[in-house]
């Protein structure tokens, strides 16, 4: 069950079908209407209504903290599928799985987070999760207008995690096991398109970055991409983002099974 509150979905319907081979989860389709002004939808009423139809709710909302509020209301599990610029926990799960699968370890790695770090919820959740592993170092590479917020940096410092901000993507790429690229999110800039244009295109993963990277390192991206990774990079075996997306299917299937029927 998926609920989306984002205004661009006005007069659209979302068709939700989950295929889970060997596991009876959903036997029918649910159609969800989305409103022009998301504030017309009362979160509490929506959650209380939908939980009567479902065993679990996967929630994407435009406001940070919405999933946490929904969890205090619902009597069934809530999966946060993204709450504005806040968090995206299931993406972080598939990201650490991808790193483990591709690199072979999580302890002692160096990860470069690149792009829109102020608005990107995926990098926030990934940072929190990486902080639980030993001897991890995190590099933040972003335009000045979309730097990682202080709450994340303070959290890393409180956990004793080594982190560094840099404006040199080539140097960071040469040091890292993982280069995690993200798009600059135009929709987060509102009417300040001048700031968007200032940020866009500043840090591009291209052949120059590939040449600087170590042979074992990988490039990741939560997708969709715009032009922040050039298409010619796709042919390099270190381009892991499409494999990363595939791993996401299995991680989320496992998450649903864990929440609904246990281990």
pLDDT tens-place string over residues 103-141: 999 999 999 999 999 989 999 999 999 999 999 999 999
Q: 7-21, 90-104, 187-201: which has the minimum mean pLDDT?
A: 7-21
* Global confidence as pTM: 0.82
Q: Quick: pLDDT tens for 174-198.
A: 999 999 999 998 877 777 888 888 8
Instruction: Check whether 34 has a pLDDT greater than 70.
Output: no
Contacts 24+ apart (CB under 8 A), 72-78: 73/43, 73/44, 73/47, 73/48, 74/47, 74/48, 75/51, 76/51, 77/259, 77/260, 78/47
Query: Where, residue-wise, is CATH 3.40.50.1370 in the chain?
Result: 89-245
Prior bond to 204 cis, omega within 30?
no
The class (CATH top level) of 89-245 is alpha beta
* Bridge partners for 17 per DSSP: none
Q: Tell me which residue of 102, 110, 120, 115 sits closest to 242, measured CA to CA.
A: 102
């Amino acid at each position: 069950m998926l609920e989306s509150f984002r205004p661009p979905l006005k007069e659209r319907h979302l068709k939700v079908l989950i295929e889970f081979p060997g596991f009876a989860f959903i036997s029918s389709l649910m159609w969800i209407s989305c409103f022009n002004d998301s504030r017309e939808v009362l979160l509490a009423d929506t959650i209380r209504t939908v939980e009567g139809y479902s065993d679990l709710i996967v929630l994407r909302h435009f406001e940070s903290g919405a999933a946490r509020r929904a969890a205090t209301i619902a009597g069934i599990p809530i999966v946060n599928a993204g709450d504005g610029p806040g968090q995206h926990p299931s993406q972080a799960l598939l990201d650490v799985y991808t790193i483990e699968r591709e690199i072979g370890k999580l302890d002692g790695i160096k990860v470069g987070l690149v792009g829109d770090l102020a608005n990107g919820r995926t990098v926030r959740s990934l940072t929190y999760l990486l902080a639980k592993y030993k001897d991890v170092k995190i590099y933040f590479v972003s335009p000045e207008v979309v730097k990682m917020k202080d709450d994340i940096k303070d959290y890393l410092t409180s956990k004793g995690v080594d982190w560094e901000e840099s404006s040199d993507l080539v140097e960071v790429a040469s040091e890292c096991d993982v280069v995690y690229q993200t798009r600059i999110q135009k929709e987060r800039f509102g009417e300040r398109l001048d700031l968007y244009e200032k940020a866009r295109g500043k840090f591009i993963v291209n052949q120059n970055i590939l040449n600087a990277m170590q042979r074992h390192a990988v490039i990741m991206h939560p997708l969709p991409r715009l032009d922040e990774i050039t298409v010619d990079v796709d042919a390099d075996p270190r381009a892991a983002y499409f494999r990363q997306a595939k791993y996401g299917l299995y991680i989320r299937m496992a998450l649903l099974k864990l929440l609904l029927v246990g281990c």
